[in-house]
A and B are shown apart, each in its own frame.
Chain A
Amino acid sequence: MNKNPEYPKKKFLSAQIDLSKFAPATEEEKRQQDVMSESVTFFKDGMRRLFKNPLAVISIVLLSIVILTIIIAPMIVPYGYEEMLSVNGRRDKGAKNLAPFEYSEAEQKFIEEGGERFPHIFGTDEQCRDYFIRVVYGTRISLVVGIFASLIVLIIGMLIGSISGYFGGKVDLIIMRIVDIIYSLPDMLIIILLSVVLNEAIKFKPGTILADLGSNMISIFIVFGCLYWVSMARLIRGQILSIKENEYILAARSIGAKPGRIIRTHILPNCLSVIIISTALQVPSAIFTESYLSFIGLGVKAPMPSLGSLANAARSGLQSYPHKLIFPAIVICLIVLSLNLLGDGLRDAFDPKLKK
């Protein structure tokens, strides 16, 4: 032990204090006192826990399959979503309401003559269109609507919620009363009214994406933007109110940081997990609303399919062709279920209070 020569060595059995025990610590010894845990960022840590949750992993896999399918399928399947089937350039009138993997007479003849024909995986509908590709496009529309609507909700809700929460006082009071009013409006009624009004008011240039979607879809976006931000704004306001109590916000102010900077660099990153999670949970609810509206005929404009309008169209022939309702219904269930499970998984993974 006696590395330090300045201190006399203690004599064996002497009662004298061993001076070397009182030598100042060397730099190396001092460094051992630094208590350090392994450096992991919050994000990595959360991701690690997310991938340990079996339900979340299953839902990620399911979602990836759905997304890959809707990206790749249109490249492989040689039919269009509004194309009526034809063989050798002639309309195939017999290809109506085929069962999955069934060929019409004309197609069978074509195959016997040596031609190749891509199978109708989900069969066809009563207008002789390939049903699989329609479901794929319907899923695309539904997902895009869900994600877009949630993004609109997120942006508006975040902006208003953070202003209300950060500045507090009168601003907060006024915004929260507006939120209360919007909260009490019947949203379905507003959607229906708006789409009727917008139908008259807006005429899109034919051929553009907006025109393809139709005014119903636009009004869904507008309604989402105008109505559904309130719960997001409330949530973010609550988060900010609690984060604002932390001294690091005061510290940032004492440094001279402006409110915008404080919100951007201190407050929002600290409620990011809540924002991500509630956005993930918003997507299925938007998809649900869209499907519901399309089902009652207020969704996308025909011939553009969406999962809801496909289900609606299948209703008439329900007894003869139940599969036409089952396919879009299953896809809706898969998407909504896996997004909900993923949202739950994210919440568990990123909530520091659940940290093990």
Chain B
Amino acid sequence: MLVSKTLLEVKNLKQYFPVKSGFKTIPLKAVDDVSFTINEGETLGLVGESGCGKTTVGRTLLHLYEPTAGEIIFDGEKVTKKNINRMRKKMQMVFQDPYSSLDPRMTVEDIIGEPLDVHKLYSNRKERREKVLELMNYVGLNSEHATRYAHEFSGGQRQRIGIARALAVDPKFIVCDEPVSALDVSIQAQVINMFEDLQAKLGVAYLFIAHDLLVVHHISKRIAVMYLGKIVEIADSDDLNANPLHPYTQSLLSAIPIPDPNITRSRKRIVLEGDVPSPLNMPTGCAFRTRCPYATEQCAKECPTLTDRGNGHMVACFNK
């Protein structure tokens, strides 16, 4: 196996949204001090429950939201407001909702061809068309559909259109923001397999966002678990599955149904108490302590940082 190069490095990324409450504006800490790296051609899975800031991480990486603080280093170069247009030729995104992410007034050909237009990647109409058809072929779309409108397609097909659009500029890295959560289970498998095939063929790296650990485990080499804007655990995906350290990860894993009654019966389901705190009113210290069965006094005072427990298995917890 080749030693792969670091493609993306994220250091202490923060994204605070100003939220008005009454006359004051208070920051909503959607992403708070997140760091991770992704190697070339590798997939990092990002899981966490709804509203924990996964989408915001993905969008901030592409500067769709200006980061409040932190650094994003892509391919050895710091991503800034100035070079973002050049960077967007190498970094792309597939969106969560296949219904609203395609312009209803455009044909499939124009949707997939738009990145080519923006970056002027062709010399004449014929070349553009050829490229679009090639991309449609890549993602398993029938070339006869090129002149149709997005609303005429099923969810799975729309997601393929979105993927073809992301692939049009030949990127090295794609943020996949829950690309399958709007699809039904049988289609999910098809689309996920396609992501894997494309990675094998084109060598793209993914940040694969999902709230379903099973899906992420299937596709990613490493997994990061997020809770309320922070990464609480990063590990190799098999390692995380076999030996989860953070209590939040443990509870997530225990909630996965296993199709074996013997295991299910003997297994203890960890049910978390209480609700997710509002991101506007975060607990002091560790964000998870209000629901953590192991919480101590230290957890209320200090915020745990990610520390390595061997083999690159990083956890942010005092007690585990």
Chain A interface (Cβ within 8 Å of chain B)?
31, 34-37, 39, 41-42, 246-248, 250-258, 261, 265-266, 269-270
Contacts and interface: CB of A to CB of B under 8 A. Distances in A.
B165 A270 contact: no
A247 B101 contact: yes
Contact of B148 (A35, A39, A248, A257): A39
Nearest to A250: B64
Interface stretch (B19-27, B113-121, B126-134, B289-297): B113-121
B63 to A, nearest CB: 9
A246 B150 CA distance: 14
Interface string B152-163: 111001000010
A270 B104 contact: yes
Interface string B100-111: 111111100000
B62 interface: yes
A255 B89 CA distance: 7
A34 B119 CA distance: 32
Given A37-B151, A257-B114, A265-B106, 9 more contacts: A31-B142, A34-B154, A39-B149, A248-B103, A250-B59, A250-B95, A251-B162, A255-B165, A256-B88
Nearest to A245: B100
Query: Which 10 A-B residue pairings sit nearest by Cβ, starting from the closest?
Result: A256-B88, A247-B101, A248-B103, A255-B115, A247-B100, A269-B105, A254-B93, A246-B100, A247-B95, A256-B85
Contact of B92 (A42, A246, A254, A257): A254
24 contacts: A31-B142, A34-B142, A36-B148, A37-B152, A39-B148, A39-B152, A42-B104, A42-B105, A246-B100, A247-B95, A248-B103, A251-B93, A251-B95, A251-B102, A251-B162, A253-B64, A254-B62, A254-B92, A256-B84, A256-B115, A256-B119, A261-B118, A265-B103, A270-B103
Given A34-B142, A34-B157, A255-B88, A248 B102 contact: yes
- Which residue, A35, A248, A258, A269, has most C-beta atoms of chain B within 10 A? A248
Nearest to B101: A247
Contacts of B137: none
A251 B165 contact: yes
Interface of B: 59, 62, 64, 84-85, 88-89, 92-93, 95-97, 100-106, 114-115, 118-119, 142, 147-149, 151-154, 157, 162, 165, 169
Given A246-B100, A247-B96, A270-B105, A255 B118 contact: yes
A111 to B, nearest CB: 62
A256 to B, nearest CB: 4
B118 A247 contact: no
Nearest to A257: B118
Contacts of A252: 103, 114
Contacts, number: 75
Contacts of B106: 265
Contacts of A258: 118
Nearest to A41: B149
B110 to A, nearest CB: 8
A269 B149 CA distance: 14
Contacts of B95: 247, 250-251
Contacts of B93: 251, 254
A265 B169 CA distance: 19
A34 B155 CA distance: 11
B189 to A, nearest CB: 14
Contacts of B149: 39, 41-42
Contacts of A255: 88, 92, 114-115, 118, 165, 169
Contact of A36 (B92, B115, B152): B152
A154 B62 CA distance: 35
- Which residue, A36, A42, A255, A257, has most C-beta atoms of chain B within 10 A? A255
Contacts of B59: 250
A248 B101 contact: yes
A251 B152 contact: no
A251 B104 CA distance: 13
Nearest to B157: A34
Contacts of A34: 142, 154, 157
Contacts of A42: 104-105, 149
B88 A248 contact: no
B170 to A, nearest CB: 13
A258 B96 CA distance: 22
A198 B278 CA distance: 61
Contacts of B89: 256
A173 B101 CA distance: 28
A247 B97 contact: yes
A251 B154 contact: no
